[in-house]
């Protein structure tokens, strides 16, 4: 397996250096380039061909959410993992709606960041606990608290080991739609990754273990 190609997008050189240093020496990760804002990231992404982009949000010229949307509109294969200081509604929701694969905060431990990078490279969504909690508060109303039929279908396929792409193919929907369903599932169950979502669904009786 080739190392995951990473691009770091942050307007603070010290932060970029810190992230690069944190990930240095990991044979599974290769930082192939940096950008100081969204505009520079858009200009470099085709040449650098990253698998995962670590994207800050509040930057000059073109901010993170706008850059994420532009990358999605261009059909870029790179997955975007937001890495920021902010977890307010005005930051979280636009970034996820723009197409971010995951959302972490800069105080995340190295191990959590590395796991999230690997998950993002696989197209899996990972949310910082505070972000998952924030989404729960948004979605928690009588009509939205339960998982929808489609969300249960997605979660069932994930529990069976399907990737996001595999679930999309079986349900005849886009991979982006699967990611959106997963984010809603995480929020409703109060979890921040697919393994925890599956475990929680079994605990709550939403999924029934398959027996041969």
pLDDT at 141: 45
pTM exceeds cut of 0.85: no
Residue 172: CB atoms within 10 Å: 6
110 has a pLDDT exceeding 50: yes
**CA 94 to CA 66: how far, in whole Å?**
9
pLDDT at 144: 44
pLDDT at 12: 93
73 and 11 inside one domain = yes
Question: What is the band of 210 on the pLDDT scale with cuts at 50, 70, 90?
Answer: low
CATH label of the domain that carries residue 100: 3.40.50.2300
User: Which residues span the domain enclosing 194?
Assistant: 135-203
101 and 8 inside one domain = yes
- Among the candidates 104, 126, 148, a domain finishes at 126
68 has a pLDDT exceeding 50: yes
85 and 149 inside one domain = no
pLDDT in tens, 7-27: 999 999 999 999 999 998 889
């Amino acid at each position: 397996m080739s190392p995951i190609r990473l691009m770091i997008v942050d307007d603070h050189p010290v932060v970029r250096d810190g992230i690069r240093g944190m990930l240095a020496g990991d044979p599974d990760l290769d930082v192939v380039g940096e950008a100081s804002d969204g505009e520079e990231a858009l200009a470099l992404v085709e040449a650098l061909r990253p698998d995962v982009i670590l994207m800050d949000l509040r930057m000059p010229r073109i901010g993170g959410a706008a850059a994420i949307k532009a990358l999605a509109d261009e059909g870029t294969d790179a997955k975007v993992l937001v890495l920021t200081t902010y977890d307010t509604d005005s930051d979280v929701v636009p970034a996820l709606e723009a197409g971010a694969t995951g959302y972490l905060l800069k105080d995340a431990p190295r191990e959590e960041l590395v796991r999230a990078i690997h998950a993002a490279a696989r197209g899996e969504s990972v949310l910082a606990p505070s972000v998952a909690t924030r989404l729960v508060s948004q979605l928690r109303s009588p009509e939205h608290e339960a998982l929808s039929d489609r969300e249960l279908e997605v979660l069932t396929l994930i529990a069976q080991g399907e990737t996001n792409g595999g679930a999309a193919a079986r349900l005849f929907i886009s991979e982006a739609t699967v990611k959106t369903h997963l984010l809603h599932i995480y929020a409703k169950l109060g979890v921040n990754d697919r393994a925890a979502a599956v475990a929680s669904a079994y605990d709550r009786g939403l999924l029934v273990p398959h027996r041969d």
